[in-house]
Chains A and B, each alone.
Chain A
């Protein structure tokens, strides 16, 4: 009878221990509502992703962009982020990235290769396909080693396709008109000033002759 009680007690203790001790390690989750974005070339845009961890252990995560997108990255929030345990998808923590799209479409410039340019946008739209990856940084990683074998790493990813929009425009002659107007204005000013000087000289000579 006593043995039975002891066995039952042990059984209850083991069950309780199994319930208390997590069977899984810290985890990582990602939430997103955008898989592609259309950005005019040469402009900056920001995207927000959310990370969460519905597991009972807090985790540290690192955000990484795939190779095709890292060249566009302007700024990203702190690289390593702590996600508290039991963070549901509804409480997911936002992480923002900012991109600046490069100038990728060829312009037809009439002067010095960079002035009086027009853009016809006849080329196909250029895409930068890639992904946003959230990697879990395990605390155990540092403690491992020394026994031979494979350490493990986990991540989740969301696809991201950045489409660069070509903005068509005609050749803009504003600069030429501005320069011509400026030259004409300066010459006019010089002309007016010269006339004034001549008038002043002429009136001084007249006064001298009168004296």
Chain B
């Protein structure tokens, strides 16, 4: 009996020791240090920066005034032709304090909507853009309808340059009277990048 108990004790001690040895070797890689090698570092940091600002007219919003006769097509926004030589005063400036050309992306959050949730179809809210402006440029013939997802508008606008816009609105004959609003967003991204990732 006494002998059996002795064996039992020895087996327990053996199990304990073997378990601890295995535990050590299981974690030995985490304990040992790495070989030290001589090396030198090589490093470069590529920094990109860009800044944009709305013209005063664009920051105030795109308004089409009061429409008295329906249907109405290509209603001019209020500042489409009020610059020098009938140029537009809607523009976005790309700061000279930047090192990247900028693409602009444009979207509307929703169609122009009134309090009763009636909508002017977004296909009727259009824009055209150009890197310069006069009485005809941006050209009405190049107009593009707004969408609710970002679409590239101005492309590769250099630092220190402007991107000019004109906006137009079509209102169908059956459009109920009321005040219609929405939000148009402009996003500047580095040239070549997608509007939404």
Nearest-Cβ distance from residue A177 to partner chain B, whole angstroms: 4
Within 8 A of B (CB), among A101-154: 129-131, 133, 138, 140, 144-154
Within 8 A of B (CB), among A23-62: 23-33, 50, 52-55
Contact of A89 with B by CB under 8 A: yes
Q: Given B23, B51, B61, which contacts A156 in the complex, CB threshold below 8 Å?
A: B51
Q: Which B residues lie within 8 Å of A149 (CB)?
A: 61-64, 77, 112, 180-181
B197-A131 in contact (CB<8A): yes
A54-B51 in contact (CB<8A): yes
Contact of B121 with A by CB under 8 A: no
A123 to B53, CA, bound (A): 44
Nearest-Cβ distance from residue B111 to partner chain A, whole angstroms: 10
Interface SS of chain B = mixed
Within 8 A of B (CB), among A148-174: 148-159, 161, 172-174
Contact of B31 with A by CB under 8 A: no
Instruction: Name which residue of chain B comes closest to A181, CB basis.
Output: B19
Q: Given B12, B15, B63, B95, which contacts A54 in the complex, CB threshold below 8 Å?
A: B95
A181-B59 in contact (CB<8A): no
Q: Which of these binds chain A: B32-40, B41-49, B132-140?
A: B41-49
B53-A152 in contact (CB<8A): no
A25-B59 in contact (CB<8A): yes
A28-B51 in contact (CB<8A): yes
A181-B63 in contact (CB<8A): no
Contact of B193 with A by CB under 8 A: yes
A52-B51 in contact (CB<8A): yes
A151-B183 in contact (CB<8A): yes
Q: Which B residues lie within 8 Å of A133 (CB)?
A: 187
A53 to B62, CA, bound (A): 23
Q: Which B residues lie within 8 Å of A30 (CB)?
A: 49-51
A150-B182 in contact (CB<8A): yes
A184 to B10, CA, bound (A): 11
Contact of A68 with B by CB under 8 A: yes
B63-A148 in contact (CB<8A): yes
**A interface footprint on B56-68 (CB within 8 Å = 1, 0 otherwise):** 1011111110100
Nearest-Cβ distance from residue A66 to partner chain B, whole angstroms: 6
**A interface footprint on B64-84 (CB within 8 Å = 1, 0 otherwise):** 101000000000010000000
A173 to B28, CA, bound (A): 13
Q: Given B13, B23, B51, which contacts A188 in the complex, CB threshold below 8 Å?
A: B13
Q: Given B22, B50, B112, which contacts A29 in the complex, CB threshold below 8 Å?
A: B50
Give the interface of A toward B (CB within 8 A).
22-33, 50, 52-55, 66, 68, 88-89, 92, 129-131, 133, 138, 140, 144-159, 161, 172-174, 177-178, 180-181, 184-185, 187-188, 191-192, 195
Interchain residue pairs A-B with the least CB separation, the first 9: A29-B51, A27-B53, A25-B59, A149-B63, A181-B19, A31-B49, A184-B16, A148-B179, A177-B23
